[in-house]
Amino acid sequence: MAVIALALLLVVWGVANGKTEQSQLSIDAMIEQLDDDEIHALVMGAAKGVEAANFALEERHSTPLYCEPALSKMSGAEYTDMFVTFVRRHPEHGKAKISIFAWVMLLALQDAYPCRR
């Protein structure tokens, strides 16, 4: 569901900007080309989608995707900083197409909040 919402947001964003080739951008290029508010909106959309999926797994007593501490709630700016920092530390993810943006967000959350096995 989150991936569908993100894909729709990307299509709308690309059409609104007259740039249907936006989905071919790398994540690094997206970070460089978009302004802070646009990056923040994309990061928050992906983060909230992954967060909802994680919550649903926890409610079903399934293994969560990542393990954020119970009292920790990240602000939008913190999500954005975490994502951009993760991509900078892992340049292979920055080279990825924007079409897997939500997947890279999941990897960033797993990096920040690993689950103890």
The total number of structural domains that make up the chain: 1
**Contact assessment for residue 15 and residue 65, using Cβ atoms and an 8 Å cutoff:** no
- For residue 64, the SS3 value is coil
**Domain annotation covers residue 98:** yes
The tens digit of pLDDT for each residue in 36-59 reads 888 889 999 999 999 999 999 999
Which range has the worst mean pLDDT, 26-40, 51-65, 70-84, 102-116? 70-84
Phi, psi of 97 (to 5 degrees): -70, 150
Whole-model pTM?
0.76
**Domain annotation covers residue 117:** no
Strand partners, 26: 97
Res 20: pLDDT? 45
CB within 8 A of 96, min separation 6: which ones?
26, 27, 104
Structural domain containing residue 44: 2-112
